[in-house]
Amino acid sequence: MISFIDLRSVRVIVTILLFAVALSFLYAARQTLMAFLFAIFFAYLMDPAVSRVERLVRSRARAVAVIYLLLVVTLGTFFFFMGPQIGRQAQHLGASIPPLLRNIGSGNIANDIGFERGWSYETRDQVRVFLASHRDTMAALAQSAGVKVAEVAKQAWLLILVPILAAFFLNDGRQFGEVVLTFAGPRPQREFVEGVLQDLNQMLAQFIRAQLTLAGLSMVAYSSFMGAMRVPNSLVLGIAGGMMEFIPVVGPLVAGVMIVGVSLIEGYRHWFILLIFLGVWRIVQDYVVSPRIMGKSMELHPLAAIFGVLAGAEIGGVLGIYLSIPVMASLRIVWRRWRLYAEKRRFGPLNEYIFGEPAGRKLPG
């Protein structure tokens, strides 16, 4: 009876089952996995500074310690000078949200804004009736937003765990790569693994530094402009807008809606100028700054980016959204390298694929 068993089919079935078990394990441990992924991203962010200090102190461990000490001093200095102002604005914004929600739910905010903007009585009454009739819907949205904020707050432990894990990656990252290569078998498999690691290393380094630069520029632009225009809670809104820059595709849109919405609710009169600034800054950021900084580091189609954001939100919530684009880009790298590996096995040596370069270009040698 054994002679009737197709061994190739058995191997395929076993491989599929092992792959399914691995995916199930990764999904079950997704929170821990995300902590390690954020630690890797943080390590890529710190690596250039650590490498420079390493040349001076002649020790990787001492270099990591020096950079972490400088980071703690920098953050401590920032929060010493800016922390009280940020805290006051955050406290003011948090205290004003409940009465504002009640005012919106009752529709009375239409009268307040209408008087300031010169709306007619009919317009104010229509807006008031519309808001009052959708009170339950707005309450549900506010409750959902509160739940999301609570979920993010529960992940605050990552602020402590991620730098600790990143220290190990910074100190022993090269050894980790060598250990992975030891599991590769013949030369084609080793070349495949080396190619994947090389492309992932280059992509993640470009992505993390580019995203941090874009977020920093947005935070400075938002805070500076809104501070000059005397927008209420400008510092808190500017920091929140900069953090939203890390969320691909939808982050900047949410930041713009949040800034304009809070400004309107707070009774800011020059909201139209603020809206024009946000539109102009988005054009400058997307078509001038981002292409120069980000370049083609992701090589992802917009539809793939949107799918990654939605899937990341379903799997890991807000943290999944942050990680969606680099994960999608990593899967694309593995797929392209696997295709090249398969073609080499069938037809022999081919032109190598270099991440970020057009297909067909050979590796320098």
**322-328: long-range contacts at Cβ-Cβ below 8 A with a sequence spacing of 24 or more?**
322/246, 322/247, 323/34, 323/37, 323/38, 324/248, 325/207, 325/248, 325/298, 325/300, 326/41, 326/203, 326/204, 326/207, 326/298, 327/37, 328/300, 328/304
Q: How far is CA 344 from the centre of its chain?
A: 35
Q: What is the pTM of this model?
A: 0.62
Identify the residue whose tokens are 């969606």.
Answer: 324
Q: How far apart are CA 233 and CA 86, in angstroms?
A: 9
Q: How far apart are CA 267 and CA 363, in angstroms?
A: 60
Quick one: pLDDT at residue 70?
Answer: 92
Q: How far apart are CA 33 and CA 38, in angstroms?
A: 9
Question: pLDDT (tens digit, 0 to 9) for every residue of the chain, 365 residues total?
Answer: 445 556 667 777 777 787 778 777 767 767 777 788 788 888 887 888 888 888 888 888 889 999 999 989 998 898 888 778 777 777 777 676 677 667 766 666 767 666 666 677 777 777 777 777 777 777 777 667 666 666 666 666 777 888 888 888 888 877 776 666 666 666 667 777 777 777 777 777 777 777 888 888 899 999 899 888 888 888 888 888 888 887 766 778 888 888 887 887 777 778 788 889 998 998 888 777 776 776 555 666 667 777 777 777 777 666 677 777 777 878 888 888 787 777 776 666 555 555 555 444 443 33
Identify the residue whose tokens are 């400088």.
Answer: 70
